[in-house]
Structure 1
Amino acid sequence: MAVEEKVWSGEAEMVSARTTEGELGVLPGHAPLLGQLAEPGEVVIKGTETGDLYFTVEGGFLSVTSEGVTVLAEECAPSTAKSATH
């Protein structure tokens, strides 16, 4: 599957997501990891210039490196509010 589009890129205070291993919150300086996103899931990007951002995701992975956090999802759509899963 090819990358279709970049949904968001920027600076954030924290990224949280539900993985198959449980709820994960990533702050600056987090140890590198690769997690499989739980389905259905939500990724929350906290502390952006425009406020907190919420995305509903289906399938995919969350990668944390020294360069930052990358979420690769099969499907992604902006949400207006935090879901009941968080």
Structure 2
Amino acid sequence: MASALTVSVVSADQEVWSGEATMVIAKTVEGEIGILAGHEPLLAILAEGEVRVTQASGSRITAQADDGFLSVENNTITIVARNAALV
């Protein structure tokens, strides 16, 4: 199992953040989800809320995201939201 995730958080008009991470927590319409390396492929509908990313360096970033979707495949996470911004 790999130890790093490749993460991209994008809004309709810009890339908000991208980089290597060890964990991502996001709010979906079915509840909060935590994703680590080796996670099964997933496509989920985002609910309005925070996306919390623990970077490979250990520091954390938080983005506020509106509705959209989250995709996980081969340790790559793509979060696409109608509106998103770092907080």
* TM-score interval for Structure 1 and Structure 2 normalised by the shorter chain: 0.7 to 0.9
Check if 1:28 corresponds to 2:18.
Answer: no
How far residue 3 of structure 1 moved from its aligned partner, in angstroms, is 4.5
Count of residue correspondences: 77
Is residue 2:9 matched to residue 1:9? no
RCO (CA 8 Å, sep 6+): is it higher in 1 or 2?
2
RMSD between aligned residues: 1.7
Deviation at 1:49, TM superposition (A): 3.3
CA distance in 1, matches of 2:60, 2:69: 21
For each residue in 1:25-75, what CA deviation from the matched residue of structure 2 results, as whole angstroms up to 9, or x when unmatched? Answer: 000010000111112x11000134371000000110010011510000000
Q: Per the alignment, in what secondary structure is the counterpart of residue 37 of structure 2?
A: coil
Runs of at least 4 residues off by over 4 Å: none
List gaps (5 residues or longer) in structure 2: 1-10
Alpha-carbon distance in structure 2 between the residues aligned to 1:28 and 1:48: 11
Q: Which amino acid aligns with 2:57?
A: E
The structure in which a higher percent of residues are strand is: 2
Q: How much has 1:9 moved relative to structure 2?
A: 1.1
